[in-house]
Amino acid sequence: MRAQQVTGPEVFHGEGPVWHHGWGGLRFVDMLAGDVMTLRADGGLDRKHVGSVAAVVRPRVGGGAVVGVERGFALEEPDGTITTLPELWGTTDVRMNEGGCDPDGRMYCGSMAYDQTPGAAKLFRLDPDRSTSVVLEGVTVSNGLEWSPDGTLAYYDDTPTGEIAVFDYDRGRGLTNRRRFAALPDDGRPDGLTVDADGGVWAAAYGAGLVYGFSPDGRLVERVEVGAANTTACTFGGEALDQLFITTSKENADLDADPLAGCLFVAEVGVRGRPVRPFAG
């Protein structure tokens, strides 16, 4: 199966695509430019600058969005106004990277050191009352995070581990009982991931030009070829949530050999996603 190109190579480091009907479609981030991207109906892209880094974006229940920025979170109001919340750390060697919302409306975003120092990162949670907490420590490159359709499992990857982990989840205890869900073939590097309506897990393999699809029990069942090596993340979108959108990156790419790096792609994979879980704050 091969993904089709949607846009030109218009972003440097595309990440974190998310479809929300309340926005009218797809948004993702050009992470290191600090921009949130909106896919227009004509296939073009609109940019909104939110800070030095835009790590991940999710809708808010009352409109607008929550955004992971370089050292914390920012809130977009329905009128487009951006409020940056207090920084979660003061040093400049670590930045936010990727995240998502749990079934109880809390927003998570994980970090990474710019030089990918092992164990230097954490996974943070922003509650609707704007309080924050650390839910994982000792992470290296905190990446994809999404919950099962029934909300009882959370899938997560710390890229250098080469595997997708799964946690049990409930509101009171949070993420518990971490264990391996699946390892990527050929020592692959798991990046962003999403979960379909049947509980299958789809993960981008950074540097491989692939998205892998796994069954709910962790078996590899699908392989989507992407026309750019640095596949970074994926999500289900379209009016019926039956299209898999895939972001890519120019970071560390040979643009002569990889001219489609930075493009957005889409694939028809025969399953549907589920509506994005919004932030309750």
Span 250-268, mean pLDDT? Answer: 96
Beta strands in 4-103 (DSSP E): 4-5, 14-20, 25-30, 35-39, 45-49, 54-59, 65-69, 72-76, 82-84, 94-101
For residue 36, what pLDDT is reported? Answer: 98
- pLDDT bracket for residue 280 (50, 70, 90): very high
CA distance 218 to 246: 21
Q: Whole-prediction pTM value?
A: 0.97
Query: Which pLDDT value is given to residue 53?
Result: 97
Residue pair 110/123 in contact by the 8 Å Cβ criterion: yes
**Hunting for tokens 């922003």 — which residue is that?**
126
> Is residue 281 one of the residues assigned to a domain?
no
Q: What is the domain-level CATH number for residue 207?
A: 2.120.10.30
**What residues form the annotated binding site?**
15, 95, 97, 115, 143, 191
What mean pLDDT is predicted for residues 274-279? 97
Cβ neighbourhood burial of 105 (10 Å; 0-12, 13-18, 19+): middle
Query: What is the tens place of the pLDDT at every residue in 117-167?
Result: 999 999 999 999 999 999 999 999 999 999 999 999 999 999 999 999 999
Structural domain includes residue 275: no
- Is 150 designated active site? no
Residue 204: strand pairing partners: 211
pLDDT, residue 39, reads 97
Kindly report the average pLDDT of the chain as a whole number.
Answer: 97
* Cβ proximity of 32 and 54 under 8 Å: no
As a whole number, mean pLDDT of residues 274-280 equals: 97
pLDDT digits (tens, 9 = 90+) for 84-115: 999 999 999 999 999 999 999 999 999 999 99
Q: Helix or strand or coil: residue 96?
A: strand
First-last CA distance in the chain: 39
Joined tokens for residue 210: 């692939």
Is 276 within a domain? no
Catalytic choice (30, 157, 191, 196):
191
pLDDT, position 100: 97
Confidence band of 243 (pLDDT split at 50, 70, 90): very high
Closest CA to 261 of 6, 10, 4: 10
Residue 32: its pLDDT value, please? 97
CA distance readout (Å), 99 to 41, 127, 149, 269: 26, 14, 17, 23
Dist CA 48 CA 29 (whole Å): 9
Q: Is 273 a domain residue?
A: no
What per-residue confidence (pLDDT) applies to 186? 92
pLDDT for res 147: 98
Beta bridge partners of 244: 236, 267
Please give the angle made by the CA atoms of 149, 151 and 157, to the nearest 5 degrees.
90
The answer for residues whose C-beta is within 8 angstroms of residue 211's C-beta and 6 or more apart is 3, 202, 203, 204, 205, 223, 224, 226, 231, 234, 244, 246, 267
Per-residue DSSP letter, 258? -
Structural domain of 223: 4-268
* Ramachandran angles phi, psi of 268, nearest 5°: -100, 105
Q: Is residue 147 domain-resident?
A: yes
The dihedral of CA 146, 55, 14, 140: what is its sign? negative
pLDDT digits (tens, 9 = 90+) for 54-88: 999 999 999 999 999 999 999 999 999 999 999 99
Distance between alpha carbon 161 and the CA centroid of its chain, in Å? Answer: 17
- List binding-site positions for substrate: 95, 97, 115
What is the per-residue pLDDT across 187-232, written as a single tens digit (0 to 9) for each? 999 999 999 999 999 999 999 999 999 999 999 999 999 999 999 9
Domain membership flag for residue 278: no
Decide if 274 is inside a domain: no
Within a domain: 154: yes
User: How many CB atoms neighbour CB 89 within 10 A?
Assistant: 14
Q: How many folded domains does the chain comprise? A: 1
